Chains A and B, each alone.
Chain A
Amino acid sequence: MSQETLTSPVSMPPFSFNQPQTFELFAEGRSWEPGWLADYRKECWEQFSALPDRILKDERWRFSPRARFGLTKIDGLANAKESLLIESASTVDGISFDLLDRLILDQAHSLSLLPKISGPNLGADDYSLLTGAFAENGFILRAQASTRSDEPLIIEHREPEAGKIAFHHNLIELEAHAEVTLIEKLTAHPDNPGGHISNLLKVRLGEGARLNRVVLQECSQSSSLVQMENFIVGKNANLNTVTLHLGSGQSRIESKGVLQGDGANFDYGSVYLGKNDQLFDQRTIQVHEAPHCTSNLLCKNVLCNQSRSIFSGLIKVEEEAQHTDAYQTNRNLLLGSEGKADSLPGLEILANEVKCSHGATTSRIDPQDLFYLQSRGITSEKSEKLIALGFLNEPLMGINDKNTREWALQCLESSFAS
């Protein structure tokens, strides 16, 4: 059906999220879905349609050339069946790892949490709502209490062909004391790059649960990515997420970690290697709602050529969240003279017994360090790469699984070599 609509230029106006019929046609085509899901899509669409025009002074987009995430560049929806692939499935009873489009028909109840958790709402409301309205796929990972998967589960998000957008609405729900390791790979389109991915992820960890998540993003230089994550961490639960961004022309990353139960722990690391005119726009918030929680965020960026990064992070400690330990660090290293890094760290503390710190630095390679490496016979270009690689090493050390950690280091190393 979608083939027909795309190839009949006379009867159909060009694809646009500004037109009501874009959603109407989509909804008609999915009339077989359960009513609650249809209602949810409609609600998202209506909220999206009611969004005010993008205003110039939106604090949540400070420093960002927002036009690079414009919706008008999108000329259609990606084939949902092709944009997401389970590479390594669950073999453990009680841990299900499946795709939204397969679950909608016969296990729609397993998706019922999706509408109940909101997005991170850190600025990309348009993408978040459109994902709610149009997502035909997503991964759904659910683990019953006290289950444990020793082998990592692996999912691949594939960049769609140029101009198309893939909306993925994803859910991770670990019940009490479950433990899972998940690897998400975002890969480039092999022969027609330039697609868009909008990923909305909602995570809820029950008491004592543990999630280790590693994301490797290697989309094409002409693609766009909007990644929105909302992590809700329950009592004594542990969430460890490390992301390695190597590709994509422009990425907007919105991550929210909510420490909801006593003693919860949230570790967030990200590494970004920017080349050419890539843009990396990252917004984070660590919300401490319960006492005795710890959160540790470490974001490191290396900017080559004319690439740029924006980091905006907030630690918010609610009044009840006594004995909080919260840290937020953003470090940027500029290679060459044309890169740019903006950093906006922030704290908002309402409790009085807390340990919080934030720090942001932007630096260049120290010429004395460079001389030291060169004096061993390594060319200045290779020396710079070695130093930059070392600089980015730290967040990757947060990956618990040794094999996964070495794999991530190798991916980073080969990206430097290219």
Chain B
Amino acid sequence: MNSLKIDNLQASIGDKSILHGLSLEIPKGEVHAIMGPNGSGKSTLAKVLSGHPDYEVTGGTATLDDDSLLGLEPDEISRLGLFLAFQYPMEVPGVSIANFIRAALNARLKEGEKIKAVEYYKDLYAHMDDLGMDRKFTSRSLNDGFSGGEKKRCEILQMSMLNPKYAILDETDSGLDIDALRVVSDGVNRMRNPERGILVITHYQRLLDYIVPDYVHVMSEGKIVRTGGKELALELEDRGYDWIKQEAVAS
């Protein structure tokens, strides 16, 4: 009940089937990591759960607490409490970060409720300070001309402002130097609490030195093929992905 639960999920894009019966449960309070080689379907899983219109779900279920996510619009899923930090956040010229986050918060208000500007900016600045972001960023266009690190910080800023029940971080480490990685990881770690479940998708073990997961899952060919503790990530770092693939085929 208090979990993000995926059961036997199958999904495809066009004629190509990508998820082949994936099952995974992320209870509140836990951090799970999914690792896997390129093309194993990690990002597809993130997009399918977020309601991306390009993907078609052909079987299985996905529920957030008690609500089914499948068939909902991306904005409905977000308002239910799922946040996706993008691997490649889009650049949106002319839309300032402050206005964007405010619009997202506004979308969560009941009729008649209003955001108080003073409190909003106080909150926004506090979160920006935590992420080491210059306050001038509030008036900059969303991701427009941002460096890789700036984009990822901006994702974490949005996540902390929207305070989701569950968060999926899709390759948040890609394109980050070690300093940026630390700042972004600290931001995620601050959000770890018993009321929130987090799924970290990554190709490399490096990120998991900073965001230490409770469980590590290995994904291959659209399925979870192995689950273990954080030491599994180290084993993968050592041995690569091939042995897992072979084991999966053998079984």
Residues of A within 8 A of B (CB): 366-369, 371-380, 382-383, 386-387, 389-394
Contact = CB atoms under 8 A, between A and B. Distances in A.
B53 A376 contact: no
B52 A371 contact: yes
Contact of B75 (A380, A387, A392): A380
Given A379-B107, A380-B75, A373 B94 contact: no
A389 B92 CA distance: 10
A394 B94 contact: yes
Interface stretch (B60-68, B82-90, B196-204, B222-230): B82-90
A373 B92 contact: yes
A386 B95 contact: yes
B94 A390 contact: yes
A369 B141 CA distance: 14
A87 B218 CA distance: 70
B100 A380 contact: no
B141 A390 contact: yes
Interface string B132-160: 00000000011000000000000000100
A366 B97 CA distance: 19
Contacts of A391: 93-94
Nearest to A394: B94
Contacts of B214: none
Interface of B: 50-54, 73-75, 77-79, 83-84, 86, 89-90, 92-95, 99-101, 103-104, 107-108, 141-142, 158, 162
Contact of A389 (B89, B94, B101): B94
A392 B94 CA distance: 7
Given A374-B75, A375-B86, A386-B92, 17 more contacts: A369-B90, A371-B52, A374-B74, A375-B50, A375-B75, A376-B101, A376-B104, A378-B107, A379-B75, A386-B100, A387-B92, A389-B94, A389-B95, A390-B92, A390-B141, A390-B142, A391-B93
Nearest to A388: B94
Given A369-B92, A376-B78, A377-B108, A386 B103 contact: yes
Given A386-B103, A390-B94, A372 B108 contact: no
Given A382-B107, A391-B94, A377 B75 contact: yes
10 contacts: A371-B52, A372-B90, A375-B51, A376-B75, A376-B100, A376-B107, A378-B107, A383-B75, A386-B92, A390-B142
Contacts of A379: 73, 75, 107
Contacts of A389: 94-95
Contact of A372 (B54, B77, B83, B92): B92
A interface secondary structure, majority: helix
A269 B223 CA distance: 54
B92 A378 contact: no
Would you list the 7 A-B pairs with minimal beta carbon distance, nearest first? A390-B94, A393-B94, A390-B95, A377-B78, A374-B74, A376-B104, A372-B90
Nearest to B103: A378
B157 to A, nearest CB: 12
A393 B103 contact: no
Nearest to B54: A367
Nearest to B144: A390
Q: Which of A379, A390, A392 has the most CB of B within 10 A?
A: A390
Contact of A375 (B84, B93, B141, B142): B84
Contacts of A368: 90
A378 B90 contact: no
Contacts of A387: 92, 95
A238 B90 CA distance: 37
Contacts of A392: 94
B interface secondary structure, majority: mixed
Given A386-B95, A387-B95, A392-B94, A372 B75 contact: no
Contacts of B77: 375
Given A378-B75, A378-B103, A372 B53 contact: no
A371 B93 CA distance: 16
Nearest to A385: B103
A376 B84 CA distance: 8
Contacts of A390: 92-95, 141-142
A245 to B, nearest CB: 18
Contacts of B89: 372
A387 B103 CA distance: 12
Given A386-B103, A390-B141, A376 B92 contact: no
A263 B54 CA distance: 53
A382 B74 CA distance: 13
A75 B137 CA distance: 55
Contacts of B50: 371, 375
Nearest to B84: A375
Contact of A380 (B54, B73, B92, B101): B73
Contacts of B162: 376-377
Contacts of A372: 86, 89-90, 92
Q: Which of B74, B77, B142, B158 has the most CB of A within 10 A?
A: B74
A383 B95 CA distance: 11
A366 B92 CA distance: 10
B86 to A, nearest CB: 7
A389 B103 CA distance: 13
Nearest to B101: A376
Contacts of A378: 75, 103-104, 107
A393 B93 contact: yes
A380 B86 CA distance: 18
A367 B47 CA distance: 13
A116 B104 CA distance: 56
Contacts of A375: 50-51, 74-75, 77-78, 83-84, 86
Contact of A367 (B53, B101, B108): B53
A353 B248 CA distance: 68
Q: Which of A371, A376, A387 has the most CB of B within 10 A?
A: A376
Contacts of B141: 390
A206 B79 CA distance: 58
Contacts of B92: 369, 372-373, 386-387, 390
A377 B109 CA distance: 11
Nearest to B158: A376
